[in-house]
Structure 1
Amino acid sequence: MSSSGPRPGTVERAFEAALYADTDAALDTGASLLAADPAADTELTRRGEEFVAAAWRRGWQPADVVRVVRRELDPVHVQLTAALILGESHEPRGARWTAQLEELRAEPRPPRADRFSYATAVLELYRLLLRLPAIEPLDVPLPGPAAAGAGDSRMLTRIRALLAKAEATGFPEEAEALSAKAQELMARHSIDEALLAARTHAKDAPGACRIGVEPPYETAKAVLLDAVAGANRCRAVWNEAFCFSTVVGFEPDLEAVELLYTSLLVQATAAMTKAEAAQRAGGRKRTKTFRQSFLAAYAHRIGDRLASVAEGQVTAAEGDLLPVLAARDVAVADHTDRMFPRTVTTRLRGVDDAAGWHEGAAAADRAQVQDRRRLP
């Protein structure tokens, strides 16, 4: 007399039916099993948290997972993802991780409609989480001598306030002056941190963060981010498939890149919208090519401006600062090469609208950052 093993539970049978096949019929079968068994809900949530934890082991962070879900699925899936991440994350994993969790707390709770629709959304999400590949893990940077200090927080608050005003003003000259002052503070903050680490022999090391580079016109946006990273002694590597760039650098510089890139992108988008409206008023209708050329020109011109600013900063440096900066540049390059031993160069394509290019370059000139004055 033969005996079979225990029958798999509802969640396991639903997973076997739905997660490893791409058809709607398989999804319906799994969702029907779950909808018919309310007692399986707790196990279903627990398994989802396991999928999230597996994503962390494959190098993902909360913002990365949400970014992919937002692009591939619907708002309800984003809400389900946020709930799973917040339910799973118990151990502190650094300041950036904590900040990402805080952003997720603002997401509304997922709606509980009929059980079949809910189960379908959950299985769609789990399919995606199950298939996330391994990506480069981000090392949490070692704390520097002034990490998370009160002075650091006040400085970043001032920089954010200046950039927020630059984004909000309708006067290009005022935006330029505000951005220039923000850059000055960024430079001072970065140099102070570098010198303090060198003088105290602190175990300061490069880290990395990921910054979303979302479509449309993502290539031009990636070029803009690369320019901002280079000007702030960082390196950026774009992952087109997952819509982010990994920026490698020392923590104060990573903060500067995040703040400045976000601000310049806001300023570029506002300027592009205004320029596009003027073009439409003149009878033009090639909106997509105009926008692509505009952002490409903006990124190119800002890159030139920021490179000039960075060169001026190095030229102004003297004494103990030059070898300190050189050592940090080498450390960032080595860390990038270890994380990304093989990279390829991407070229901008489809940039063929002369009016868009001219307007984008002009907007970049208005948003230009003045040369940083010599710092004490």
Structure 2
Amino acid sequence: MTFQSNPTTQLVSAAKWAFTTRRVSKGDAVALTKDYARAVAGDLVLCQILEVGQHKNIQLSDRRNSTSYPGDLVVLCLGDRYAPDQFLCRAEIHDGPMQLAAGGGIVGIVEQSHARMRPPTAVMPLGLLTNASGKVMNVSDYALPAKAPNRDVTVFGVFGASMNSGKTTAAASLAHGLRRAGYRVAGIKATGTGAFGDFNAFEDAGVPVTDFTDAGMATTYKMPLERIERGFDTLVATAAANGANMVIVEIADGVFQRETRAILNKSRIRERLDGILFAAPDALGAFGGVTVLERYGLSPFAISGMVSCSPLATAEAAEITGLPILTREQLWDRSMVTQLVRPYVRQPELCAAS
């Protein structure tokens, strides 16, 4: 079923466009279709908010929060989500109420939720957006041009024990310290769920940033590893083409999450990393994370995250792991961070001065 384009144009112009749609050319949307049987992750869905629940705001494409009201029109992305602290969602659409699984604009059918979560915000799909050719619009249509892997820049990965272990703060702090030390730094969020919090954290640290939405994925959960690898290759190569000689790559969720395990086990991403910073919530998480990484033949050069907020937990983690436990302020210190990364830099003559 396809609607006329003029009413669609009016609806689309009145809608709030979520962060996950930020690369999309809004003017391309000319009609709606309810051919839901062929919908795939990343397809753009025009929805109307029925009832506001857990997510009271929509993260907009211009990177600000917009308070949601029943009746609001929103353009969201069909997507899967894996978030142990929030929702498990599958990318499925039908002619009936759906749920907002993430404030950055992921919609689907919520299957499970954390006990602390309120019911998800309920929305009604009005249709999938189509362009002038009648093709359903997908965020992958607006991705950065694919690039071959870059082998010259230094790439550091930031992994964590779990959600909310302090990965984003650790990644942004490392990027900020390296920038202060004279490196030309870029930030990348390689996996996760589209949202502007991590994106903004890198920019606040003074470094340019791209994420998997720039590579055409609204989320990376259930994406084939090869697709995630190609996105990683493109983002690193794009950063290098834009002048970076140091790239900080944040990997979402914990080491047991499906895509993260695949990356650690055997992937081009793992092989491309020159060093790893690990974020842990506490001393046990630090020990467990280091133990897991060692099973994959990897070892972090330092630990940061929430554990570093507690002097007692820091002392415990340092004793049990034998690794430096660094606060965000220590990661900002250009002298300390220069000494920390020196053994891992690929082309020291092109990077920061001693």
TM-score for both structures, normalised by structure 1: 0.27
Structure in which a larger fraction of residues adopt helix: 1
TM-score for both structures, normalised by structure 2: 0.28
Q: Name the larger-Rg structure.
A: 1
Structure in which a larger fraction of residues adopt strand: 2
